[in-house]
Amino acid sequence: MAREIVYLEHDSYQFKFGLEDFGLYGNVSVIETEHDYRQHIDNLVLGKGLWPSLVVLDWRVPWTRPAREMVPAPEDVKSDGYFENAGARCLDYLRKAELAVGRVTPVLFYSVLDEEEIFARLRERGYTPQEGKFGYLNKDLESNSRSLNEVVRGLLRN
């Protein structure tokens, strides 16, 4: 059975590489905004689609695309920053949805932010990196001590 991977990324340059790289491990659904991500997760909870084997999150993602009639942001987005902390909010949203379906999905933070900074921000929200359930990889692949292959395989194995 093919794996499903959800990849939250708004930069078309980055998601081109993400499709190539993450596509080696399964079917990749690229989602460009936090609003679309939440809708996608809601649909999965309703049984519309296959639950992902892996969720890949960037830290900085817009709430929605510019439009004449913008989708209003919920309070958590307004108070937490429309762009800055989207990855953490998307993790929160995923973890709450998982309660309804009885799963815990591995999450890979794929970002230009440093690993220490991301995990410090997650700790402030009450998350601690759980072995097999969180991972990090810098988008500048040359600065990583582990390869994309090692990180993704490790997360998918657990």
User: Band of the pLDDT at 117, cuts 50, 70, 90?
Assistant: very high
**If you average pLDDT over each of 29-33, 69-73, 144-148, which comes out highest?**
29-33
Mean of per-residue pLDDT scores for the chain:
88
Residue-number span of the structural domain to which 49 is assigned: 4-157
Q: What is the pLDDT of residue 130?
A: 67
User: Residue 126: is it exposed, middle or buried by C-beta count within 10 angstroms (0-12/13-18/19+)?
Assistant: exposed
CA distance 126 to 105: 17
Q: What is the pLDDT of residue 106?
A: 94
Q: What is the pLDDT of residue 60?
A: 93
Q: What is the pLDDT of residue 82?
A: 83
CA distance 61 to 53: 21
User: Residue 34: is it exposed, middle or buried by C-beta count within 10 angstroms (0-12/13-18/19+)?
Assistant: buried
If you average pLDDT over residues 97-126, what whole number do you get?
A: 91
Q: What is the pLDDT of residues 119-130, one digit of tens each?
A: 899 989 888 766
User: Residue 31: is it exposed, middle or buried by C-beta count within 10 angstroms (0-12/13-18/19+)?
Assistant: buried
CA distance 72 to 63: 9
| Beta pairing, strands 107-111 & 27-31 | unpaired
State pTM to two decimals: 0.91
Task: Considering only residues 23 and 35, tell me which one the structure prediction assigns the higher pLDDT.
Answer: 35
Q: 10-30: string of b/e by CB count within 10 Å (b at 16+)?
A: beeebbeebeebbeebbebbb
Tokens encoding 132: 């097999």
Tokens encoding 61: 């993602």
Count of domains observed in the chain: 1
Looking up residue 134, the CATH number of its domain turns out to be 3.40.50.2300
Q: What is the pLDDT of residues 132-155, one digit of tens each?
A: 588 888 888 777 777 888 888 888
